[in-house]
Amino acid sequence: MPSTTPALVDLRGRTLGHYRLTQMLGSGGMGTVYLAEQTIIGARVAVKVLHPYLAQDTRLRARFYAEARTVNLIGHPNIVRIFDINESEDGLHYFVMEYLAGTPLSRLPRPMEPGLLTWLLVQGCDALEAVHRSGVVHRDLKPDNLLMVARPGETPTLKVLDFGVAKALRPSPQQEQTMAGQVFGTPAYMSPEQWTGQPVDGRADVYSLGVTGYLLVTGQLPYPRGQLAEMVLSSAPPPPLYPPHELVPTVSEPLSRAIMRALARNPAERFPSALEFKKALIAAVQPAPRAHPAVRSAPPPRPPSMPIPATPTLPEPNDPTPAPTWTARVRRGNGTSPVVVHCNELSRGGVFMCCAEPFPPLFTRLEFTLLIGGEEVECVGEVVRHVDSTLARTWRMSPGVGIQFTNPSPRLRELLLRLRPLRRPSAVQQSTAAEEALALI
């Protein structure tokens, strides 16, 4: 069935007020964010433009402008700053934000070093505490909306972005009547009470930050995509959730307990506030991480004889539920250094390696070292599936090859069982395109 959503309008090259749009940075449900240049002094800023096809809806325009007012009301160093809000002569609604040269947490390698993770989560708690004290719930906290800004010689800074679906904790009766029963958020990070359309408070954001922490420190979401909805809507007891320290040996038990408490299904069992979550995190890992090193220059391109080509870019940061990733070092037969690639969709049978074309031929035997939960495991496999760039665009995934394990070692089998517990049979199956590709292996 064809999509009814109008195509995005590319506004690069346009000038809105004193700002010339130069590059598209990302797009979401409400608007598109552009890198822009202030035409008078040349300063770089970010401009968020409401999708033109939404501009005719009075309620959506009001929500778009409410995002800017919300951010200015809070005014916190860990929250993106907004400078200006306006409407162009031809009806484009936009606001101007500080441009942050950083990396969304969704695009950082996983599993993340626990000290760095804790440092980032603590800053996230600081921002959330300010948000909640201002009478607002973010409701869409996820790795895509959390940006790490790292400058050489300084500790990394976290910035919270995108308050497009934020909601006042004490709305007016008219707002309650309008919004009742509507669910906002990103499925993999939504709290159970959000799933069922119940009233939410700051503890829903604590849950979302807990999901983010679990993903970053273990390399996988606490529940497979779609399973949380099944759990919330089912009367059966939920499946066991492995604490992070059981999956990644470098994670301390206090940090693991803090993340697990933030993930409690019952809001009453979570931390009562972001401040309490912060205290538990600080108690778990006291030292701050070392200053972020200077960015190294990119390595030279690999020779064309390698069996696995250079790693392509990670999936777009606008992917609402980024797939868990692992890292593999693939050895080459010509004696040169191994090639490092990102992997995802790890299962008992194999793994999907994200890489660029040309692909190694089908049934090519590969030897590689897979990093799982902080432990390196030697593996052997065969190439059994190609997903070229055309298929990857259709399925909204990275191009690459499916690898089937050959005689996996007992240790590999044990780690796969722990990382990917079997799902109980369900009447509702929400498979992703990448899972469908792996099913063909």
208: its two tokens: 């979302």
36: its two tokens: 């822009």
* pLDDT the model gives residue 316: 42
Domain positions in the chain: 15-98, 103-169+185-284, 326-439
* pLDDT the model gives residue 347: 83
Give the integer Cα–Cα distance in Å for 141 and 208: 6
* pLDDT the model gives residue 327: 84
CB 164 within 8 A of CB 63: yes
What residues contact 335, with CB distance under 8 A and at least 6 apart? none
* pLDDT the model gives residue 31: 85
* pLDDT the model gives residue 289: 59
The secondary structure element, H or E, covering residue 50 is strand 44-50
Instruction: Give the pairing of strands 400-405 and 136-137.
Output: unpaired
Euclidean distance between the first and the last CA atom of the chain, given in angstroms as a whole number: 28
Q: Which of 140, 144, 162, 205 is catalytic?
A: 140
Beta bridge partners of 94: 49, 86
Whether residue 224 has a cis bond before it, omega within 30° of 0: no
From residue 342, how far is each of 178, 333, 400 by CA, in Å?
Answer: 44, 20, 10
CB contact burial 166-177 (16+ within 10 A = b; e otherwise): bbeeeeeeeeee
* pLDDT the model gives residue 182: 45
* pLDDT the model gives residue 292: 60
Nearest to 217 by CA among 162, 254, 176, 179: 254
Fold of 15-98: Phosphorylase Kinase; domain 1 (3.30.200)
What CATH number matches the domain at 103-169+185-284, 2.60.40.1220, 1.10.510.10, 3.40.50.970, 3.20.10.10?
1.10.510.10
The secondary structure element, H or E, covering residue 100 is none
* pLDDT the model gives residue 349: 86
In the sheet that holds 146-149, the strands lie side by side as: 103-104, 146-149, 157-160
In CATH, which superfamily holds the domain spanning 326-439? predicted glycosyltransferase like domains (2.40.10.220)
Beta bridge partners of 33: 26, 48
**Would residue 140 show up in a list of annotated catalytic residues for this protein?**
yes
| Per-residue model confidence as pLDDT tens for the chain (441 residues) | 455 566 678 899 999 999 999 999 888 778 899 999 998 888 999 999 998 888 888 888 887 887 777 777 788 899 988 888 899 999 999 989 999 888 999 999 888 999 999 999 999 999 999 989 888 888 889 998 899 998 887 789 999 987 755 555 544 444 433 343 344 457 788 888 887 888 889 999 999 999 999 999 998 888 765 455 556 566 555 666 889 999 898 999 999 999 999 999 899 999 999 999 999 999 997 655 566 665 555 544 433 333 455 444 444 444 444 566 788 889 877 767 888 888 878 888 899 998 888 888 888 899 999 988 778 899 999 998 888 887 777 777 778 899 999 999 998 988 888 764 433 333 233 223 323 332 332
| Amino acid present at 156 | P
* pLDDT the model gives residue 128: 94
